[in-house]
Amino acid sequence: MDGVNLEEEMADWSDIEVELIIEDYFQMLQKELTGQEYNKTEHRNRLIKLLNNRSDGSIEFKHQNISAALINLGSPYIKGYKPRWNYQQLLEVKIQEYLQRHNKFENIFDAFALQKIKAPPKKVKFEDWIVSPPEFQPIVKEPIPTYKPVKKNYLEIEQHNASIGHSGEELVFEYEKWRLKTAGKENLAESVEWSSKNIGDGLGYDIHSYKDDGKDMFIEVKTTKLGKETPIFFSKREYDFANDKPNEFHLYRVFDLNTQAKMFQRNGKYDQFCAVQAVAFKGMF
């Protein structure tokens, strides 16, 4: 557990400790989402004096739990705190209570999700922008004792932000042409098509590209300003297309769009590379 003493970490946090660390987390999150600088070490040093003999590692771990809880609630999170999913359900309850008392975060989250991106980053070095995909962490959670409905899924709203999606697709379109030209496949590079732009949405993919041997690649681009662990949202059409063409289908996940954009790739059916959860149903009569 990354140096955290197991017995210490598993010891129950009191309600007041949970409330204190949530308050600290949201102070940092507000600054991060509004472009203000802050120092995590300074925050931790102030917080540790108020807690029950918690170590730096234990506090870090709980901050990561808060990131995971916020993701499950459809909210932005601090990118520097990689989500750890197996947390007490009390954490979600306390976070929702905090957000009800501090409704200013609705405006902050709205501004984050709806911010228009005028152009993709100009300093992306394609030779080193691909990173490994996130390590899968099984999600084991306790039953929810109390539930207060989430007003909005800001992560889904952000993904449907047209300017963010356009910027990510433009990056991938340019990357695919660069990749093929670098491989000496200039004819293939000239044939790469930005399908969602030229033909329209609803195809099940965004970019039609090619492998070095000329075989088809159908690329779906999902883009976020947050970190690589942020969940993606996809349509039934996209899901069915990947099932029909698993060898040709590729997911390109662009993240950290507004800071230092990076990307990871997955190939095959969605069920093969992520935990698929149904979030909507249709009833027919």
Position 2 pLDDT exceeds 70: no
As a whole-number percent, the residues of the chain with pLDDT over 90 amount to 77
What dotted CATH number matches 158-273?
A: 3.40.1350
What is the tens place of the pLDDT at every residue in 193-204? 999 999 998 999
How is the chain split into domains, by residue range? 1-112, 158-273
Least confident of 141-155, 181-195, 228-242: 141-155
Q: Is 17 helix (H, G, I), strand (E, B) or coil?
A: helix
pLDDT at 1: 47
What is the tens place of the pLDDT at every residue in 131-180? 999 876 655 554 444 555 567 999 999 999 999 999 999 999 999 999 99
pLDDT at 13: 86
Least confident of 8-17, 65-74, 108-117, 232-241: 8-17
Angle between helix axes 56-72 and 90-101 (nearest 10 degrees) is 70
More confident position, 216 or 150: 216
More confident position, 144 or 239: 239
Cα gap 145→110, rounded to integer Å: 28
pLDDT at 100: 93
The pTM of the full predicted model, rounded to 2 decimals, is: 0.90
pLDDT at 150: 63
pLDDT at 116: 93
15-24 b/e with 16+ CB inside 10 Å = b?
Answer: eebbeebbeb
Task: State the pLDDT confidence band at 42, using cuts at 50, 70 and 90.
Answer: very high
Confirm if 213 and 201 have CB atoms less than 8 A apart: no
**Going by C-beta distance under 8 Å and a sequence separation of 6 or more, which residues neighbour residue 38?**
27, 28, 31, 32
